[in-house]
Amino acid sequence: MKILVTGGLGFIGSHTVVELQNEGFEVVIIDNLSNSSEDVLDGIEAITGIRPIFEKFDLRDKSDVQDFFKRHADLEGVIHFAASKAVGESVDKPLLYYENNLGVLVYMLQELTKMDKANFIFSSSCTVYGQADELPITEDAPVKPAESPYGNTKQIGEEIIRDTCKISPQLAAIALRYFNPIGAHPSVEIGELPLGIPQNLVPFITQTAVGLREQLSVFGDDYPTNDGTCIRDYIHVVDVAKAHVVALQRLLNQKNEGNYEVFNLGTGTGSSVLEVIHSFERVSGEKLNYKIVDRRPGDVIKAYADTTNANKVLGWKAGSTLDDSMKSAWDWERKVRG
């Protein structure tokens, strides 16, 4: 069975390609390399022994998208990762985000709805919840007004898919709302490759420890939490990748209820910034150089998933601990920078 993975050379995309290949799927990757490298193909092949088919083009080119689907009429499913994902950048460049994250989604759905049967997995985010009123967060928690154009593209993207599914019974879709994916494949052949200064906590921790960054700034320790720092649900990227295969198989085996479903992908456990730092120090044996600074605008205080739906309905559960994830992130950082 041939599966298209857009953004398949990216962080979560590449780990998902590995898990798809492990399950015997034939994978075609489309990636414009704007936030990834073609070398990732070597890493995937080193793990699975199979080099995915790779087509380099920008999905914003509608004619290229149409041409691709003509040439791959035998696709059984699409997992759509390709999108811009930097919250801060989206505030400065909203039209780039609306074009790349929503215009492209429309082109994909226009092609998928021409097929007799289409299975579609959408990369969404816990960002849609904003600061949830109740914790842990369930999938029917209210979607809050987005704090950034990036978050808005995830909310609107889900609505576009839901509305399309309503009039397209031949389309079956699942939106997966990631909490905070971290870590790297245990083989140390693929991992996170942030371009420039990392915006996210874990790559900044590992880059500080390996000497690439001077010091980690902890954005505030005066929040109403146990140790004053923000709480998130950090989930191993391989667990997230495996969830995509489970979700795709649910659609392929027509086990889905209705043709549009949403699942949270988290561990169900919240960890504070300081707990993540202490986990890193435990697994690495390194003392991390950090300082407490002012809060980062837009940060929510606490976010962690209610995983009941994913565990019971999707039949998936995260298997790795925070220490497992931090150890894999550290192993990867040392390999890349070592």
Catalytic residue set: 150
| CA 259 to chain centroid | 22
273 binds ligand WQD (CB under 6 A): yes
- Tokens, residue 137: 């967060």
Q: What's the CA gap between 216 and 293, in Å, rounded? A: 10
The structure tokens listed for 208 are 């500080």
> Among residue numbers 282 through 311, which ones bind ligand WQD (CB under 6 A)?
296, 299
Distances (CA, A) of 100 to 46, 150, 194, 250: 31, 10, 19, 28
- We find the least distance from the C-beta atom of residue 37 to ligand WQD, in angstroms, to be 20
128 contacts ligand WQD (rule: CB under 6 A): no
Choosing from 100, 101, 180, 307, the residue that interacts with ligand WQD (CB under 6 A) is 180
Site string for ligand WQD, 97-126 (x = CB under 6 A): ----------------------------x-
CB 90 within 8 A of CB 97: yes
* Smallest separation (angstroms) from ligand WQD to the CB of 219: 4
User: Are 267 and 178 contacting, i.e. CB atoms less than 8 angstroms apart?
Assistant: no
Q: Which is nearer to ligand WQD, 25 or 179 (CB)?
A: 179
Site string for ligand WQD, 25-44 (x = CB under 6 A): --------------------
| Residue with smaller CB distance to ligand WQD, 106 or 197 | 197
The CA–CA distances, whole Å, from 270 to 124, 187, 234, 294, 335 equal 19, 27, 7, 22, 28
Q: Which residue is nearest to ligand WQD (CB)?
A: 230
Percentages helix, strand, coil for the chain (3-state, rounded to 5) are 40, 20, 40
Residues contributing to the site for ligand WQD (CB under 6 A): 85, 87, 125, 127, 178, 180, 199-201, 204, 216-219, 230, 232, 273, 296, 299
